[in-house]
Amino acid sequence: MAHDNHAHDHGTGGESHGSVKSYLIGFVLAVVLTVIPFWMVMSGDFSRTVNGVVIAVTGSAGKTSVKQLTASILMQAFNTWMTQGNLNNHIGAPLTLLALKPEHEAAMIELGASGLGEIAYTAQFVKPLVGIITNAVPAHIEGFGSLQGIVETKGELLDFIQPNGTAVLNADDANFAQWQHRAAHLQQLTFGFSESADVRAVNIRCSLEGSEFDVLCDGQTVAIKLPLLGEHNVRNALAVIAATHAAGLSWDHIVKGLQASVTVKGRLQPCRGAAGQRCPSVLVLRLKVQEAELIDGRFSQRGHADIPRVALHFSTSQTINLLTVADGARACNTSLMRVIECSSG
């Protein structure tokens, strides 16, 4: 019995020691991941800045899709590096820059934030030639205090664009005027569906195969084919067209880059019914909205001001309400509903 008790006591001590060891390892890793990127960038050890085209994007939604689309265009002309995965915060952005190599001729950097001042912190290292703000909506608002806090934080990017650079701004966003004023010292290109936008789309045709539209820019009309679903991706493409046009990319590169783009994993994708056909009725979105969940084909709402109504417009002129899915599942004769995630990027 004494031997058993000794074994038990020894085991308890081992578990305690293991917990302390795990805690210390976690603490050291946190310090390393936070401090070392900052130290390396701020010291003379960081010398791998791209001498060519650097484009950065921030915003409440669409960042990752814009990043992918922009990189697809840059790759048509340059050896390009871009933010990998979701490494877009105060740790990920410096690590992204540190991964640059001398052979890289262009970089596409995604900048995210969970609180005030975070875009300023990362943008000071990036110093892009072109900076894109996609939009500002009340997402992850707890770290910003208010929508105005989000607007100001996204606008921090404008303070670190190169003096000869360009701010690319969403003319359709309610906060556009604030960003336009903040970027008064820069060249500006606006995008959107508004007739006042410098880069806008007309003749938009969306289907389950993607989108086609004509882009109006600098007095030119250029036909675009985009293999991504939804009108929201048309707007994302307009931001990308404006940014790459400002960076000096040719229309040939822009058109080919957009056509070669692929859907970001975890974003809106078509699913197939039992017969293998693409079925618009079965498409749904899981909105990345705090404390919202999909129950019986409807979103329940708990403690959130509002959940946006989302719809896709197809070539049949039919409007599909993506929040009603039960009928679509029956129509496609499928027992397994695949939920298509469309995160805020």
Greater pLDDT, 50 or 61: 61
Q: Is the pTM here over 0.85, yes or no?
A: no
Class of domain 42-259: alpha beta
| 22 burial level (CB within 10 Å; 0-12, 13-18, 19+) | exposed
Reported confidence tier of residue 42, pLDDT bands at 50, 70, 90: low
Looking at the chain, the whole-number percentage of residues with pLDDT higher than 90 is 50
- 231-281: pLDDT as tens digits: 889 999 999 999 999 999 999 999 999 999 887 665 666 555 545 555 443
| Lowest mean pLDDT segment, chosen from 142-151, 182-191, 241-250, 300-309 | 300-309
Query: Of the ranges 259-263, 301-305, 321-325, which is most confident?
Result: 259-263
Per-domain residue ranges of the chain = 42-259, 280-342
Q: Kindly state the average pLDDT of the residues 321-341.
A: 34
- 91-119: pLDDT as tens digits: 889 889 989 998 999 999 999 999 999 99
Length of the chain: 345
Query: Which of 197, 249, 210 is CA-nearest to residue 73?
Result: 249
Quick one: pLDDT at residue 32?
53
Rounded to the nearest integer, the mean pLDDT of the chain is 75
Residue with tokens 């992918």: 68
Residues linked to residue 222 through DSSP beta bridges, in sequence order: 215
Quick one: pLDDT at residue 160?
96
